[in-house]
């Protein structure tokens, strides 16, 4: 379980675990126990969001775990629909009270658009100013000490450039859909050039990865599951990731060869991406 204990260093000098336990689509009633089991398995980064409706249970698990608070990294997110300065401040207070923790380690803008407007090319510049105002609120929340780092999610190159044009604090993270066959090279390169860490979500391509014969063959070579290989691929590409399968994904004690990494990086996924389809980089 070595990878669970390894970290990256963000652009503000703070360390972040390379692998996180995600709670998306996790019912509130089962979240506390699932997070406790994840922490017992060795995970030290828990990812939630106001939109997931399970922040209270995540916070309860962190408090009940018996693990020192500074040993657990907690991420939450501002809803994509919230696009005003005042709304961002209000929603953060809801998240802060839900979690019941002294501070959050990372707070992200969940999306550049409201979710029901994602993928509409005519919206590329529509929310630029709104995101700048929201970011101002996050910078003030950061300054308050209630959050250690701030970042974004689902932002493409245009969104990042717009934000950086007025930001006083650079985003520490951009959490994007990223997996074998879909590595968002333009966003990844822009983030690298600007010292923004990429976080990969959906490392199994929401399940499609599990039945890919090439991925299956390479995983078998390392005595690993497809899930383990998919996560190790993301980490070796210099991103960090989160996934919900606790014990299976915890064993990341192998290294993918350069040749196999080239094969995996050369794969292309033909599925339409619901978040970025129709958008320009």
Q: Which residues are catalytic?
A: 52
* Rounded-to-integer distance, Cα 96 and Cα 99, Å: 5
Residue 50 phi, psi (nearest 5): -60, -40
Write the Ramachandran bin of 102: left for phi over 0, alpha for psi from -120 to 50, otherwise beta. alpha
* Rounded-to-integer distance, Cα 12 and Cα 197, Å: 11
Closest CA to 207 of 218, 198, 199, 215: 215
- The bridge status of strand 197-201 relative to strand 7-9 is unpaired
């Amino acid at each position: 379980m070595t990878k669970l204990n390894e970290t990256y260093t963000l652009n503000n000098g703070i360390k972040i675990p390379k692998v996180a336990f995600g709670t998306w689509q996790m019912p509130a009633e089962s979240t506390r126990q699932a997070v406790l089991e994840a922490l017992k398995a060795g995970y030290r980064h828990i990812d939630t969001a106001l939109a997931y409706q399970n922040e209270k249970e995540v916070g309860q698990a962190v408090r009940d775990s018996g693990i020192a608070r500074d040993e657990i990294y907690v991420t939450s997110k501002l809803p994509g629909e919230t696009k005003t300065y005042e709304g961002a401040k209000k929603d953060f207070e809801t998240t802060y009270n839900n979690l019941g923790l002294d501070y959050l380690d990372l707070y992200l803008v969940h999306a550049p658009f409201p979710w029901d407007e994602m993928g509409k090319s005519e919206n590329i510049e529509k929310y630029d100013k709104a995101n700048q105002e929201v970011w101002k609120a996050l910078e003030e929340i950061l300054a308050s000490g209630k959050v250690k780092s701030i970042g974004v999610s689902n932002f493409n190159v245009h969104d990042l450039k717009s934000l950086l044009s007025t930001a006083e604090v650079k985003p520490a993270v951009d959490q994007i859909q990223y997996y074998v066959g879909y590595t968002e090279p333009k966003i990844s390169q822009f983030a690298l050039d600007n010292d923004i860490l990429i976080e990969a979500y959906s490392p199994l391509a929401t399940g499609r990865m599990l039945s890919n014969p090439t991925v299956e063959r390479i995983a078998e070579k390392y005595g690993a599951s497809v899930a383990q290989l998919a996560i190790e691929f993301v980490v070796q590409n210099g991103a960090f990731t989160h996934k919900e399968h606790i014990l299976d994904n915890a064993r990341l004690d192998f290294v993918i060869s350069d040749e196999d990494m080239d094969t995996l990086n050369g794969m292309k996924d033909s599925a339409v991406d619901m978040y970025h389809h129709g958008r320009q980089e």
